[in-house]
Amino acid sequence: MRISVIGAGYVGLVTGACLAKLANKVTLIDIDTHKIKSINSKASPLYEEGLDELLNQVNVEVSPDYTRTTDSEVLFICVGTPPDKDGPISLEQITEATKEISKVLKKKKDYCVVAVKSTVAPGTTEELVIPILEKSGKRTGKDFGVCFSPEFLREGKAVYDFMNPARIIIGEYDKRSGDTLLKLYRNFNAPVLRTNLRTAEMIKLASNAFLAAKISFINEIGNICKNLGIDVYEVAKGMGYDDRIGNKFLNAGIGFGGSCLPKDIQGLISKSRQIGYEPKILQEVLNLNDRQALKVIDLLKKHISLKGTTIGVLGLAFKPGTDDIRDSSALRVVQALLKEGAKVKAYDPMAVNNFKKLFPQIEYVARAEALNSDAILILTEWPEFNELDYSGKIVVDGRRVEKAREAKIYEGICW
């Protein structure tokens, strides 16, 4: 099929490259000149396992020119929906992209489907996207179709997840919209749920809110366990055998970050408040997560005074396998260390360049072994951190790196 993908970030670039690999003709649109240059020279502007190789196998070009989307049968909207400060999901990028698509629709002769993949609050596709598209003078359901098809890929495993989805959710304006989109997924071996637009939007937000709640839940149990001398990892293992609970997302630690969980749960809270319902569980999931990251500072202060002391930080990305630092716990922890007057030396195998843009004042080392410091905080569970020599060190571990237990003084965040 002829596909356009608007927004060549984590989701859009992976979607575009994977759909091209599946023999579709893909046009990518983005407005970021740095990204455009990088992708067109076959280098992914972001670190994602297998993406560089994929870009070299397929024929995808990116440009800011929306007229290149005129012959597309499906146009995916994959632009960012970042958080508005502690509030609803920002709809600025989606509004701008939809306005451009509307101009294209005006000139289009054939039926096409506009499929929103960006995560938005329930009602957004009907109340914002469709009215802008109809400014083209064309009618939804007659001249074009609309779907909301959420993306569930995990950063770090995005290419694998796109090609091997656990489920395909299609929120459809009408049957024809859903039928058209489904043609793209005909060779995927995954359950398909077809539903209406706002239900699909809610499925995405509720899924992320549930995952976040699972993490905050086990962190709370971990905080209790630490004080009772119980190993929360044993507890989680015992719980996980129950398939109503499952053993995933039960790794107690420093909490969740990234571009999705915190802002999606905040977006759901905002939507809920708009309709007059106070979502107490969801709010406490976020509150606990905010407190959890800073616990490593309190634990460190039990062993060393921070003023003027050099603290080594292992891990800056919000999780291993990515260079993404959006809402990473490391941001809050480094900020707090600097506030306490500590000197910070940091190492991450992938995320240093991104972190440097926000914290140019700290020192970065090129190898974890070069992190000579008075104490070490482990903030991301990169596998290589389990190979380091921690003997003689003070270590506060936010991620359960077993090897770090050999440290002179070892404190797990909740074990």
Ligand X SMILES: NC(=O)c1ccc[n+]([C@@H]2O[C@H](COP(=O)([O-])OP(=O)(O)OC[C@H]3O[C@@H](n4cnc5c(N)ncnc54)[C@H](O)[C@@H]3O)[C@@H](O)[C@H]2O)c1
Question: Mind telling me the catalytic residues?
Answer: 260
The site that binds ligand X (CB under 6 A) totals a number of residues, namely 27
Residues 21-40 that bind ligand X (CB under 6 A): 29-32, 35
Tell me the C-alpha distance between 197 and 125, whole Å: 7
**Which residue in the block uniquely carries the two structure tokens 């996207």?**
129
Instruction: State yes or no: residue 121 binds ligand X (CB under 6 A).
Output: no
User: Which is closer to ligand X, CB of 103 or CB of 175?
Assistant: 103
Q: Name every residue whose Cβ is closer than 8 Å to that of residue 196 and which is 6 or more positions away in sequence.
A: 171, 172
Q: Where are the alpha helices (DSSP H) in 135-275?
A: 158-163, 175-184, 197-228, 232-240, 261-274
Instruction: State yes or no: residue 118 binds ligand X (CB under 6 A).
Output: yes
Residues 181-220 that bind ligand X (CB under 6 A): none
Least distance (Å) between residue 154 CB and ligand X: 7
Q: Which token pair is 179? A: 């039928």
In this chain, which residue has its C-beta nearest to ligand X?
9
User: Which is closer to ligand X, CB of 81 or CB of 329?
Assistant: 81
Least distance (Å) between residue 250 CB and ligand X: 21
Tell me the C-alpha distance between 62 and 4, whole Å: 10
Name the phi and psi angles at 164, rounded to 5.
-130, 65
Instruction: State yes or no: residue 397 binds ligand X (CB under 6 A).
Output: no
Least distance (Å) between residue 32 CB and ligand X: 4
Instruction: State yes or no: residue 260 binds ligand X (CB under 6 A).
Output: yes
Instruction: State yes or no: residue 10 binds ligand X (CB under 6 A).
Output: yes
Least distance (Å) between residue 222 CB and ligand X: 25
User: Which is closer to ligand X, CB of 28 or CB of 313?
Assistant: 28
> Would you say 375 and 303 are in contact if contact means Cβ atoms under 8 Å apart?
yes
Tell me the C-alpha distance between 391 and 374, whole Å: 12
Residues 144-163 that bind ligand X (CB under 6 A): 151, 153, 155
Instruction: Select the span of 75-83, 177-185, 357-365, 400-408 touching ligand X (CB under 6 A).
Output: 75-83
H or E segment to which residue 113 belongs: strand 112-116
Instruction: State yes or no: residue 262 binds ligand X (CB under 6 A).
Output: no
Measured at the CA of 324, the angle between CA 323 and CA 326, to 5 degrees, comes to 155
Strand order across the 310-314 sheet: 363-364, 343-347, 310-314, 375-378, 394-397, 409-412
Instruction: State yes or no: residue 80 binds ligand X (CB under 6 A).
Output: yes
Tell me the C-alpha distance between 234 and 284, whole Å: 25
State the residues that interact with ligand X by CB under 6 A.
6-12, 29-32, 35, 78-81, 93, 96-97, 117-119, 151, 153, 155, 259-260
